[in-house]
Structure 1
Amino acid sequence: MRLRRLTVAAAAVALTAVAAPARAGDATTPPGVVTVDVVGVNGSGCPQGTAEVAAAPDNTAFTVTYSNYLAQAGAGSGGTEFRKNCQLALRVHVPQGFTYAIARADYRGFAHLQRGAYGQERANYYFQGDAQTARSTHQFNGPRSDSWQASDWTAYTDLVWAPCGEDRNLNVNTELRVYTGSSNPQDLSFMSMDSTDGSVSTVYHFEWKRCPAAS
């Protein structure tokens, strides 16, 4: 697959608005340029060319923006339409002497759920060669027809750090599911993690620390 490197400008304002406040004792955000390369894309929620990745210019986070990520149920939806997923393999290039972990992830989209229907957003992320982290699940119940948001936080003591001095892919997995539940199966319910204008993005917040000095 052709390697893609995407620019940072489009997500700058949104990333600044949602960046988590710094905690006492955190490592200084590294100087220089952090880039994120997409080295693998797979899943029904992100057909080729429908997922864009951008690093924040202040090195605090990166965004993933989807343009065709929608799960639906009812109203004659196909048997597999109730579940959509996306698996991204990302190569994060960081300044020498630093390593990173994902401290928080913010997921956003739109949900139209009939009374009795419900939708779920699931996610996890892990480094190539490491065991997968626990998959978080957020549920949204109908009736509702509005934007949704969910966040996953990791305590500092539980952070999983990229190995210093090694190039390991960061694997990011997400999933949407919609169930008709007790709603009328002829009524459509859906849940998306996309935006027609590109303004809705998933945001992954970095935590930084310095690598041990070579002996």
Structure 2
Amino acid sequence: MRERVAVARKGVVTVLGAVLTLALSAPAQASTVATPETVPDGNITAEVVAANGSGCAPGTARVVANSDKTGFRIRYSDFVAEAGSGVDTTARRKNCQLGVVLTVPAGWTFAVAAVDYRGRARLSAGATGLQRTNYYWQGSSDSGRTEVTFAGPYNGFWSTRDVAHALIYLPCEQQRVLNINTELRVDAGTSSGRSSMSMTATDGDVDTLFNLNWTRC
């Protein structure tokens, strides 16, 4: 089971949680301990191997491994949904599906412990914005979905957090694609102005952060 937390500076936030089970074809170690044993000595690399969707045109999404090896960051440069006066109806929903591969030192494996999502929103009174994200490992038939809705008037940064209570580690010595599917949607509702919501948070330049726990094989 996972815990969803939404944080906002202004506005009304509605969080709908769901259970996420990562069913792997090979046995995986599960743990409720959220503190990693340590981090690997070797290098960790993260790479986008696939990017599809209106929210991540080629070259507008990249992934960077943290220097302290505690996770990796996804940075979007053109992931914005808009609605309202003068905005094309196709702009109200933007989505992006990324395939990310992590290369880790031999003798180590990892689990996703928590994910932090951040962005900006400018919602007029009567408008709403929605962030929906799910992620799953290649070969897994099960996935979960989180929906977070923000209601206008709202103007500022937003952030949400998805915490895993049970850690499920990838099978040792196996490399799999982590599929990350994110959607932003803006509904003008009864508002008269233009509203927008983005996955780009210029404050700190961190848009999505995957936090990892490590264990030795």
TM-score scaled by length of structure 2? 0.80
Deviation for aligned residue 1:195: 4.6
Whether the aligned pair in 1 keeps the contact of 2:74 and 2:206 (CA below 8 Å) is no
What is the SS of the residue equivalent to 2:90?
coil
Whichever residue aligns with residue 164 of structure 2, its letter is T
State which of 134, 137, 154 in structure 2 corresponds to 1:124. Answer: 134
Deviation for aligned residue 1:197: 8.2
Deviation for aligned residue 1:131: 2.1
Query: Equivalences for 1:141-152 in 2 at 5 Å?
Result: 141-152=151-162
Greater length-normalized contact order (CA 8 Å, ≥ 6 residues apart): 2
CA RMSD of aligned residues (A): 1.7
What is the SS of the residue equivalent to 1:80?
helix
Whether the aligned pair in 2 keeps the contact of 1:55 and 1:62 (CA below 8 Å) is yes
Whether the aligned pair in 2 keeps the contact of 1:114 and 1:143 (CA below 8 Å) is yes
**Which runs of 5 or more residues in structure 1 are unaligned?**
1-22
Query: Could you say if the C-alpha distance between residues 148 and 195 of structure 1 is closer, same or farther in structure 2, counting changes exceeding 3 Å?
Result: closer
Query: Equivalences for 1:23-172 in 2 at 5 Å?
Result: 26-155=36-165, 157=166, 159-172=167-180
The question of 1:188 aligning with 2:198 is answered no
Whether the aligned pair in 1 keeps the contact of 2:45 and 2:65 (CA below 8 Å) is yes
Whether the aligned pair in 2 keeps the contact of 1:124 and 1:132 (CA below 8 Å) is no
Higher strand share: 2
Report percent identity of matched pairs.
Answer: 46
Question: 2:208 — aligned with what?
Answer: 202
Whichever residue aligns with residue 169 of structure 2, its letter is W
Whether the aligned pair in 2 keeps the contact of 1:72 and 1:190 (CA below 8 Å) is yes
How many angstroms apart in 1 are the aligned matches of 2:95 and 2:133? 9
**Which runs of 5 or more residues in structure 2 are unaligned?**
1-32
Deviation for aligned residue 1:114: 0.7
How many angstroms apart in 2 are the aligned matches of 1:205 and 1:168? 17
How many angstroms apart in 2 are the aligned matches of 1:61 and 1:183? 39
Provide the aligned length of Structure 1 versus Structure 2.
185
Q: Output one character per residue of 1:169-198: Cα deviation in whole Å (capped at 9) or x when no partner.
A: 1111111111112223xx111001125687
TM-score scaled by length of structure 1? 0.80
How many angstroms apart in 2 are the aligned matches of 1:24 and 1:87? 27
Whichever residue aligns with residue 199 of structure 1, its letter is D
Whichever residue aligns with residue 89 of structure 1, its letter is G
Deviation for aligned residue 1:143: 0.1
